[in-house]
Chain A
Amino acid sequence: MAEAQNDFSDDDVVRSVREGHVRDFEILVERYKRKIVNFIHKMIFDYDEAQSLAQDTFIKVYQAIPKYNSLDNFQSFIFTIAQNTTLNYIKKQKHIQFFSSFLSPGEENNHFRAADNQYELMEKDQQDEIVSTALKKINENQRLALILKVYLDFSYQQIAEITGWSIPKIETLISRAKSNLKKQVHHILKIS
């Protein structure tokens, strides 16, 4: 199956993997790796961690394949796992930042500073940097909703499937995200 990968739907490949053809899982990795790496990267803005969390996501997807219901959308299934993996990582980072702020006061946002440097090495464009810096500063649920809607161009229905949130909640989160992002961009421009 791996040779003629474009001829098969996600569900066909999942069925084949379930039947024991582990190598066919490669087709799904090839199909989604770019989207997943970029989705995670836009949530955390750290190149190395995005690659690592995306790898974890695919391993979790493989392990969760027995639970996948073919009535669901496979893309939503994989993005739900990517979203949970990323939000758990962000939560852990918050704990680390909280405790490290006691150990070394005045050195907040070390993690993001390191990520900033990496991001700068990859992309020099200053406007992208302003947008990404502002994105990092908004609440993670607002950021998640905005990335799914604006960056990945998902419908409200797809976002609801991925996140488990109601459509009115998603609309509220996106509206707040937009407002806060605008404020952050203003703030960054003022202090620069």
Chain B
Amino acid sequence: MDIDEDSDMNPIENSTGLELLEQVMAGVKELPEIEPRPDFTRQVMFNIKEKEKLGRFVFPSLILTPFQLIFSPFQKLGLQGILQGIYFTRNREKK
């Protein structure tokens, strides 16, 4: 339905209250549909297959166990070194 700004026949502009609400709701209900892209399904299936491949071949090597998550940063930094550092700093402050 075209809306002519200058016309008195504009159905939305000339209605008030409930009438306008009904027209707007009808407008919402009849909003034009869009079509999924022609290759939509193919794309989804392609992406799923790609994710499947990633899941099988890459993820297992990246997954860290809770033990690795907790201890590997300490191993890298050298837990012993950190503890020694704290010990010497405290001792120095006491002196």
- A contacts, CB < 8 Å to B: 22-23, 25-26, 29-30, 33-34, 37-38, 41-42, 47, 50-51, 54-55, 58-59, 62-63, 122-123, 125-128, 130-132, 134-135, 146-147, 150-151, 153, 178, 181-182, 185-186, 189, 192
Cα A26 to Cα B27 with chains together (Å): 33
Assess the B24–A34 pair: CB atoms within 8 A.
Answer: no
Using known A-B contacts A58-B44, A122-B34, determine if residue A127 contacts B3 with beta carbons closer than 8 Å: yes
B93 → A minimal CB distance (Å) = 45
Assess the A55–B24 pair: CB atoms within 8 A.
Answer: no
Using known A-B contacts A55-B43, A151-B29, determine if residue A131 contacts B49 with beta carbons closer than 8 Å: no
A126 contacts which of B3, B29, B35 (Cβ < 8 Å)?
B3
Does B75 make an interface contact (CB < 8 A)?
no
Cα A182 to Cα B28 with chains together (Å): 11
Count of interface residues, chain B, beta-carbon cutoff 8 Å = 31
Assess the A26–B41 pair: CB atoms within 8 A.
Answer: yes
B77 → A minimal CB distance (Å) = 34
B44 contacts which of A47, A59, A63, A181 (Cβ < 8 Å)?
A59
Using known A-B contacts A25-B48, A26-B41, A189-B13, determine if residue A128 contacts B33 with beta carbons closer than 8 Å: no
Cα A58 to Cα B47 with chains together (Å): 10
Using known A-B contacts A26-B45, A125-B2, A178-B21, determine if residue A54 contacts B40 with beta carbons closer than 8 Å: yes
